[in-house]
Amino acid sequence: NVVLVHVYDVSLEDMFWRINRITANKNSLIKFGGVFHCGVEVYGMEWSFGFTDSETLPGVSSTLAKQHPHHRYRQSVCLGPTSLSAEDLADIISDLIEEWPGETYHLLRRNCCHFADTLVQLLKVGRLPRWINRFAHIGASCESGIETIRRTDEMLGLSAGMCALTKNLVNGAKWMGSLAIANAPHRSEDREGRQQRARRQQ
């Protein structure tokens, strides 16, 4: 019943591996952040969230631990044992399948790391380490700042150039995550099938 967070370099592209090696070296005690995918392993299966373009295809999926087919495994973080049973986990996953449909995925505000943070809290083992999703939080803050400047510009007639300059801060983060969305698997299993599989894993 030990809960592990498995961290991956987003996609299989070497570019993201190189970025993450600099900004969050796995051997370093201090990590600034990176472009990551992550999943939560508990009771022998790893659960994660990703983009789908259909209401009938769930965003929540399971894989063998450290074996996500679309991302490069990097390292694991142990959060300790959960006091919940396998039956409790099945109920949690069933609820999350409904609450996290794949079409609601957002690179900066509702991604796989946000899902993992929600799941580990429900498992009562704390929170996701901040460095795992720090880049997304920074990007989301920049995006909010852009919207604030745009509205202020409309009200007060500030320079349009200022808006354009600030907008560039978030474009990089969005671009770096675009491959993760493009490479996201289109799951063929519907929600009912996923719920049944979760319960069989008890």
pLDDT (tens digit per residue) in 54-97: 777 889 999 999 999 999 999 999 999 999 999 999 999 999 99
Q: What share of the chain is helix, strand, coil (3-state, %, to 5)?
A: 50, 20, 35
Active-site residue 78, yes or no? Answer: no
Stronger pLDDT, 13 or 56, i.e. the higher one: 13
Residue 70 is encoded by which pair of tokens? 């679309």
Q: What is the end-to-end Cα distance of the chain in Å, rounded?
A: 12
The alpha-carbon radius of gyration of the chain (Å, integer) is 18
Mean pLDDT rounded to a whole number for the chain: 80
Split at pLDDT 50, 70, 90, the class of 147 is: low
Could you tell me the sign of the dihedral formed by the alpha carbons of 73, 78, 79, 84, in that order? positive
116 CB-side CA count, 13 A? 29
The H or E element that residue 153 is part of is: helix 134-156
pLDDT confidence of residue 189: 46
What beta strand segments (E) does the chain contain?
A: 2-9, 36-42, 45-49, 60-63, 72-81
**Distance between CA atoms of 112 and 130, rounded to whole angstroms?**
14
Q: How many CB atoms lie within 10 A of CB 124?
A: 14
Is 106 one of the annotated active-site residues of the chain?
Answer: no
Q: Please identify which of the residues 37, 68, 71, 114 carries the catalytic annotation.
A: 37
Catalytic: which of 38, 112, 113, 142? Answer: 112
Question: Predicted confidence band at 171 (pLDDT cuts at 50, 70, 90)?
Answer: low
